[in-house]
Structure 1
């Protein structure tokens, strides 16, 4: 019994050794400027949606801004809305919004880089038959993405 317990504890310790999030938080970095780039999304043929997402994400992240500090550069690279007609997605997939948040210090040096992928069920935003369902799905993804960015940068 003692040998089995020792092996299990050793195995658990080994598995958790690589996990960096247990008990650790990212120290907050003062952010003076927030820049959102939706160019990669527009280059994929989603220019109207990219133009819509940019101010939405800027508004969501505005609470991170302080008088001066690092620059937060967020690049939105992908938006995928699955086919959805109630009950379940036709492709059995989820809606996703991909971005990357980069903290750049006042000296121009990259401080941190955080790839962010928001994944949500298409049913999360309500009834599929309402005319604004796709807009509500995008709104939910942007809010979720901003929440993960705030968490990543310690805000």
Structure 2
């Protein structure tokens, strides 16, 4: 078993038993992380294989960009566990009868766990991001779906930084 995978398993097991005070708090302003990891285990468990790995890659890149000034040193690890992604069918229409259409939204759901070296979850921050399905450009372009994943990953990472109080 890979060494880096053990803390992810420990974090998953401990997350269920977190004390109420460890949930959905913010971090001190100067917090730095020793590493940032993306866990797509829940997606892999649903049989999403290569697609889950695409989500992992895009989110890892977005987190690296948004948290570049917060990585390095002996701090805790930021583990982002993706629990769900939904890219709804998009056929080029943003409105119906002059109003918005909620079915034209993409969703990325997960939680951030701040884990110390011993595997103790110090903080848990659940988050759901919703973006417009048109973010990938023309729906008939084969690259549209990948651009939608890239876009929602960037959205998730930017809001996570704010949600953790690091903005």
Report the TM-score range of the alignment, normalised by the length of the smaller protein. 0.7 to 0.9
Contact residue 125 and residue 133 of structure 1 kept, 8 A: yes
Indicate yes or no: 2:134 matched with 1:123.
Answer: yes
> 1:3-152 alignment to 2 at 5 Å?
26-28=27-29, 29-62=31-64, 63=68, 64-88=70-94, 92-93=102-103, 94-152=105-163
The CA deviation string for residues 21-59 of structure 1, in whole angstroms up to 9 with x for no partner, is: xxxx75232111212110101222321111112122222
Tell me the matched-pair count.
131
CA distance in 2: counterparts of 1:89 and 1:128, whole angstroms: 15
The CA deviation string for residues 43-94 of structure 1, in whole angstroms up to 9 with x for no partner, is: 2232111111212222222213122201111111111011111113898411
Q: Report the Cα offset of residue 107 of structure 1.
A: 4.2
CA distance in 1: counterparts of 2:152 and 2:143, whole angstroms: 14
CA distance in 2: counterparts of 1:127 and 1:50, whole angstroms: 23
> 3-state DSSP class of the match of 1:31?
coil
CA distance in 2: counterparts of 1:113 and 1:80, whole angstroms: 22
Q: Report the Cα offset of residue 145 of structure 1.
A: 1.0
Per the normalisation by structure 2, the TM-score is 0.70
Per the normalisation by structure 1, the TM-score is 0.74
CA distance in 2: counterparts of 1:88 and 1:40, whole angstroms: 31
Contact residue 35 and residue 71 of structure 1 kept, 8 A: yes
Q: Greater CA radius of gyration, 1 or 2?
A: 1
